[in-house]
Structure 1
């Protein structure tokens, strides 16, 4: 089934998201509304003129550039083409921000910035090298970074954000054009997106677990989603017999699996999986308990959409989504309750994309990169930190 057919039914079902939603920028009924009643990033008001770093922010927020591509930071040269990222708490009260490098021809990988409890940069180092087009990835509850290769036989690499242990390829998660991964902390399953115009939505279930209950990423079954053609978005899962794609690409192994137009970022929160598709500028929500898929945001249903070029996704503890734009208006946009509102905008980087949004473990700072900076060249990436009343 084509996903456009599902979207057409959904738009009819919700009456084009009501006239107000069509004319403006509001969301379909979703779990976000209940989750964001007590705390909201979206209440901080309009964006001010750009600051000295070219970043437009609401009142009370400030920006800092923490790294430039090619800059020597301690013993590490900050990588070109910074992409997906995440943060990890460190024992000293500080935290680590990891960032992928999306270069090809074995020049990709991932690096890390370590901050102390006061937010000072105290170290920088590599956590993965000699890989290809490391795009986005995912943070695991057992405190590792899953770095995804966006190539036809791309792998997921499990990395130690502290840089102590060597990265490991997790081939049971499939060989395909990986984009991102999210872990369902309740059921210990992993959900994965594929960045192809006919990409698929995948789920990994481990057969075994370690002594503390974490899933074995080398021993499990990879499944692909089929959205059942009954107009309600019910999802059925089909096991792949060849996750290594030795004989056929994973997306083609189950003919009745559902195609998604360019899978991008993905995020888990309280029994829901959210993911973006760039080809149709949609953000989807999968209800794990009900096994139902819905459209949360569709730019095509807005006359003047605030959010376009949907890409990486992260979220806060209140359940609000922060969606980065690849192109678009170079914004990070908050999906909160019924609202679609810009949190920030980077000015003068029109040939770049926003990548790797991640909140610090205490939620007080936001990290992200402009992958190609002002010039549009991958060697000119810029990594930012935003501080404010998140």
Structure 2
């Protein structure tokens, strides 16, 4: 990037740098963290937060939690069983949690990020199969549980899909599951992959791709409050992935049964372009540093020429300088005013890192629907020692590699860490500190799919390997509210 453009980015709207609990990271200086009911950054009520207590080692060696918190294992890959008799599939990833059909219960719709012929793949159950050639592969299961973490049943919601990574809940109580792949038909596969599918908590089966949302290596998504826009992230490299927005046709609002209701070419899919002060387009988010915290940048959405990527991947259909790329666009979560999106990392060992970019271990962004601007709200600076030498297994003083994100019932964030060394679930206040609220003591597997029950009593989270669904209870509002 020319020096003149770098100076345009560096100038203006400075932000304070704060010290986060259990690690050093810049934070916004103009907000007081507290309950803000899912609104955007800078909208906090002036209520104090209480520092999250230190984590205590688990005598069972699975999950370190603070005093007053406890966990239950709901499902375990290859051990617990589906209602149909097969073993629970593995590689648990993204989750959505809804109020259950019976009082006091919850419904967890869960992804399984698996390729074909996995050891514990999602079984092909009649009516749920998208691609019969994707045997013992990815898909979703639907779990019924309660605040005690009891396993009250689990069934297959969709099967015959591939590498179901994250996704997003809908306002009408379904789950949109995302395939993180660009696999084409052939070599045993009967259909193309790389789509979004809708999964229902009530057992309805609709194994049809929502082609209007595009075919690429999807990560996660969120629907805006008007049900007219969907924001989708892409976890890909060679070149780096993009952040997309699907806009509905005039007069149309999303509702259940999207795949049956929308034509393949309905609406418009656009890729994000962040506009710099001189009118040029930021080529990659890795050019921005912590000095840009809380600074809003205008955004334009550039139409994707061929959303089904029949010849060329969607991200490769844009020349350099047309859109803004990012290493590992990951978690996405919507609020009434905007949507959070995470860039997991862009370290010196990352592929596709621009030569004059700034390495980082993570970025959390907030896109404002009304203003059509995006701002950096949390920044994890690159830690050479953590990534190159790998820190001790239970050192929770440095955070890196944020991945999935959810907004708590009180408006703060929860991030699942997928970095170097030990893995954590993090509580984070845009404009305030970040805390470790759980630590994996079993292995170095990533956490996935953090999601709160609607009543705020239970935090559900997955440990991808060996494939555990965990229900964590405790005084959440005291520390995250």
TM tier, smaller? 0.7 to 0.9
Counterpart of 1:57 in 2: which secondary structure?
A: strand
Q: Distance in 2 between matches of 1:261 and 1:6?
A: 21
Deviations 1:17-43 (A, max 9, x none): 43757x833423574453364485x64
In the superposition, relative to structure 1, how do residues 170 and 33 fare at CA in structure 2: closer, same or farther (>3 Å)?
same
Q: What residue number does 1:25 align with?
A: 25
Q: Distance in 1 between matches of 2:156 and 2:331?
A: 23
In the superposition, relative to structure 1, how do residues 310 and 240 fare at CA in structure 2: closer, same or farther (>3 Å)?
same
TM-score of the pair, normalised by structure 2: 0.72
State the 1:179 CA deviation: 0.4
* Structure 2 counterparts to residues 158-173 of structure 1, below 5 A: 158-173=198-213
State the 1:122 CA deviation: 1.5
Q: Distance in 2 between matches of 1:101 and 1:161?
A: 16
Q: What residue number does 2:336 align with?
A: 270
Q: What residue number does 2:470 align with?
A: 384
Q: Distance in 2 between matches of 1:175 and 1:284?
A: 24
Deviations 1:1-60 (A, max 9, x none): 89xx99996666565743757x833423574453364485x6442222225352121221
Q: Name the Cα RMSD after superposition.
A: 3.0
In the superposition, relative to structure 1, how do residues 126 and 20 fare at CA in structure 2: closer, same or farther (>3 Å)?
closer
Q: Comparing both structures, which one devotes a greater share of its residues to strand?
A: 1
Q: Distance in 1 between matches of 2:176 and 2:76?
A: 23
In the superposition, relative to structure 1, how do residues 98 and 262 fare at CA in structure 2: closer, same or farther (>3 Å)?
same
State the 1:224 CA deviation: 1.0
State the 1:143 CA deviation: 1.2
Counterpart of 1:251 in 2: which secondary structure?
A: helix
Q: What residue number does 2:67 align with?
A: 59
Deviations 1:192-231 (A, max 9, x none): 0000131011011111536979975543211111111227
Counterpart of 2:455 in 1: which secondary structure?
A: coil
Q: What residue number does 1:205 align with?
A: 247
| Aligned partners of 1:147 and 1:158 also within 8 Å | yes
In the superposition, relative to structure 1, how do residues 325 and 117 fare at CA in structure 2: closer, same or farther (>3 Å)?
closer
Deviations 1:168-201 (A, max 9, x none): 3101000001000111113531100000131011
Q: Distance in 1 between matches of 2:63 and 2:380?
A: 24
* Structure 2 counterparts to residues 7-156 of structure 1, below 5 A: 13=12, 17-18=16-17, 24-28=24-28, 31-35=40-44, 37-38=46-47, 43-52=51-60, 54-73=62-81, 74-75=83-84, 76-93=86-103, 94-105=105-116, 106=134, 107-116=137-146, 120-152=150-182, 153-156=193-196
Which blocks of at least 5 consecutive residues in structure 1 are unaligned? Answer: 373-379
After superposing the two structures, state which structure 1 stretch, 126-135 or 51-60, moved more: 51-60
Deviations 1:47-102 (A, max 9, x none): 22225352121221101111111123243521111111111112322211111111
After superposing the two structures, state which structure 1 stretch, 321-330 or 158-167, moved more: 158-167
In the superposition, relative to structure 1, how do residues 385 and 273 fare at CA in structure 2: closer, same or farther (>3 Å)?
same
State the 1:285 CA deviation: 1.3
Counterpart of 2:297 in 1: which secondary structure?
A: coil
Matched, 1:297 2:362: no
Matched length: 379
Counterpart of 1:252 in 2: which secondary structure?
A: helix
Matched, 1:181 2:273: no
Matched, 1:349 2:443: yes
If you compute each CA radius of gyration, which structure gives the higher value, 1 or 2? 2
Which blocks of at least 5 consecutive residues in structure 2 are unaligned? Answer: 32-39, 117-133, 183-192, 279-295, 347-361, 387-396, 477-481
Q: What residue number does 1:225 align with?
A: 272
Q: What residue number does 1:366 align with?
A: 459
| Aligned partners of 2:217 and 2:234 also within 8 Å | yes
| Aligned partners of 1:16 and 1:301 also within 8 Å | no
Counterpart of 1:191 in 2: which secondary structure?
A: strand
Q: Distance in 2 between matches of 1:367 and 1:39?
A: 25
Q: Distance in 1 between matches of 2:450 and 2:223?
A: 17
Counterpart of 2:381 in 1: which secondary structure?
A: helix
